[in-house]
Chains A and B, each alone.
Chain A
Amino acid sequence: MSIQSKDVLKIAHLARLGIRQEQVESYASDLSNIVTLVEQMNQVDTSDIEPMAHPLDQFQRLRADVVSETNQREILQQNAPDVEDGLFLVPRVID
């Protein structure tokens, strides 16, 4: 299936990914080539095959519900682009 420029814009929006207008066409062409590669999968019938999500078919291991992390807010916020009084700052979202 070929991916058009409008599809690229839609996908980029879904992924909240800014892309430059002049690159949209080349992305459409690259993504189309990749999808063509991917569609080689259709050569094989998989109707009765159980999908495989994990290489070892392990079940998710659970741990006891106990506190394991201490509060490290100050350390973690040292990497934040913008903080104030221990809060992450973002542009105004509610008028």
Chain B
Amino acid sequence: MYNKSLKELSASLHRKEISSVELSHYFLDRIARFDGELNSVITINTEAALKAAEQADKLIASGDSGLLTGIPLLHKDIFCTEGLRTSCGSNMLDNFIAPYTATAVRKLEQAGAVTLGKANMDEFAMGSSNETSFYGAVKNPWDLNAVPGGSSGGSAAAVAARLAPLASGTDTGGSIRQPAAFCGITGIKPTYGRVSRYGMIAFASSLDQGGAMAKSAEDAAIMLQAMSGFDEKDSTSTDKPVGDLLSDIDGSVKGLTIGLPKEFFGEDLDEEIRIKIEEAVEAFKSVGANVKEISLPNINLSVPAYYVVAPAECSANLSRFDGVRFGHRCESPKDLEDLYKRSRGEGFGDEVKRRIMIGAYVLSAGYYDAYYKKAQQVRRLIQQDFVEAFKEVDVIASATAPSVAFKSGEKKDDPVSMYLSDIFTIGVNLAGLPGMSVPCGFVDNKPVGMQLIGNYFEESRLLNVAHQYQQLTDWHLAVPAGYEQEV
């Protein structure tokens, strides 16, 4: 049951072999059985989920249903869910009950999906290992001593352990793709503006983008289809038509040109991972795709530029947490400044504090041009490199991360080494392009992810390429040991 595709699950629901209530119970039971050691879920939504499942069963009986009707899923705890705690992985919002629902969640619920609960994440989506969560670290189901990646580490670990068929994620610098790679699942971050940011707690507004995490490209396509679309409540939402993400998914990749950026195959890349990516490229060649080496000459500056732009935007966005209107407030503040400082000091963890301080520093008087303006200029150079590359190729392929999942604690006390685990993903966010990660093998019994980058608004091509790869391989069907039993 747990390894069935979304289409198979939907067919079972529509053939009345199983009800949505039963399916929801099934995955809630898996969460209860397996999540003690994984810690991938922060809040369980049993009562409301079963109610939604009952409703879905009625829709299925009446014939007014679609592929997502009655399908259980998890939402990263960065998405506001009305009436349900939305913590963003932070002590600051430990007691926050969202007063409204994020557009992406609402759209999925309107498509009939059943929200089982909220997935663990790095605090305020700041982290690459899911070790900064106030609710404790998430474990990688392939190796409990390794990190699941971050910041959507709870979503990735849960889908990998088959605790839910789908989970939402957000990606500011790689936060969908890197954990998808570390956990051996498929994740897609669409073009900036595709998925509404309304109700998605802001980290870095010009980079943040919601997306889908699933077992396969086909499942991710179905989920992303439902999440995407123009939203007047998000002023950066794009009104470009989404189109049908499934219509091209079966198309051949014959004649497609795949670009391999030489900068992504340098000494940063683990040798064994390079071999896996080369094998994946060979698979594409075997079905008629062309391969071309390309160059992204400024991509080595993406991590430096990102660590100006993202913290600057984060320091502005997180200034709303003031201990006055919502969120954590310190005990007996002696004056307003004490209230601000202690509420924020107690509410935020170390990594969030570091980024707020970097942001405040680069935006402070006298430093703005040297850091913030400079970073925005470098950002354009990086974007232009991609624009040039897409004149020659249809998609770009690389490793998603330079290594497989690293050991818990290994980079926790060294922020810069942690930041460098995102060297292959960050440029995509700076440029605003769609990107995804698909499983392409194992190194040391841990999953390897291949990153695929598409041109603006070409999610359907990206999903087509990923799906065709998954017709040639079965890495995406592998389930970590210990999680194969039915409950």
Q: Which B residues form the contact surface with A (CB < 8 A)?
A: 95-97, 99, 191-193, 206-207, 232, 235-236, 238, 298, 300-301, 303-305, 307-308, 315, 319, 322-329, 333-342, 344-346, 348, 350, 353-354, 356-362, 364, 371, 373-381, 383, 415-416, 419, 429-433, 456
Contacts and interface: CB of A to CB of B under 8 A. Distances in A.
Provide the main secondary structure of the chain A interface: loop
Contacts of A27: 353-354, 357
Given A51-B373, A52-B383, A41 B432 contact: no
B360 to A, nearest CB: 4
A37 B304 contact: yes
Given A17-B341, A51-B380, A75-B99, A34 B354 contact: yes
Contacts of B191: 56
Contacts of B315: 15
Interface residues of A, number: 54
A51 B416 contact: no
9 contacts: A3-B361, A18-B341, A18-B344, A34-B415, A34-B419, A41-B308, A49-B377, A49-B378, A88-B324
A15 B357 contact: yes
Nearest to A81: B329
B192 A56 contact: yes
Interface string A14-57: 11111110010001001101111111111110100111111110
A28 B193 CA distance: 36
B206 A53 contact: yes
A44 B415 contact: no
Contacts of A19: 345, 353
Which among A49, A55, A75, A76 has the greatest number of chain B C-beta atoms within 10 A? Answer: A55
A72 B304 contact: no
A78 interface: yes
Contact of B341 (A16, A58, A60): A16
Contacts of B339: 90-91
Contact of B377 (A20, A50, A75, A91): A50
A30 B354 contact: yes
Contacts of B357: 8, 11-12, 15, 17, 27, 31
Interface string A56-95: 1010110100000000100110111110000010111100
A81 B339 CA distance: 12
Given A51-B380, A52-B383, A91 B335 contact: yes
A37 B344 CA distance: 27
B326 A55 contact: no
A14 B360 CA distance: 7
Contacts of A46: 374, 377-378, 381
Provide the main secondary structure of the chain B interface: helix
B304 A39 contact: yes
Nearest to A83: B325
Nearest to B361: A11
A55 B192 contact: yes
Contact of B307 (A15, A38, A51, A63): A38
B358 A34 contact: yes
Contacts of B301: 40-41, 43-44
B325 A52 contact: no
Contact of A81 (B303, B323, B346, B373): B323
A76 B326 CA distance: 8
Given A34-B358, A79-B95, A56 B326 contact: no
Given A54-B432, A80-B325, 16 more contacts: A15-B344, A16-B322, A18-B345, A30-B354, A39-B304, A41-B304, A42-B374, A49-B378, A49-B380, A51-B379, A55-B207, A63-B232, A79-B99, A81-B327, A91-B339, A93-B336
Contacts of B380: 49-52
Contacts of A15: 315, 319, 344, 356-357, 359-360
A77 B304 CA distance: 40
A23 to B, nearest CB: 8
A42 B430 CA distance: 18
A37 B95 CA distance: 36
Which among A16, A44, A72 has the greatest number of chain B C-beta atoms within 10 A? Answer: A16
A18 B383 contact: no
A58 to B, nearest CB: 7
Contacts of B415: 30, 33-34
A54 B374 contact: no
Given A17-B341, A18-B342, A80-B325, A55 B430 contact: yes
B109 to A, nearest CB: 19
Nearest to B335: A91
Contacts of B342: 18
A17 B416 contact: no
Contact of A56 (B99, B303, B348, B432): B432
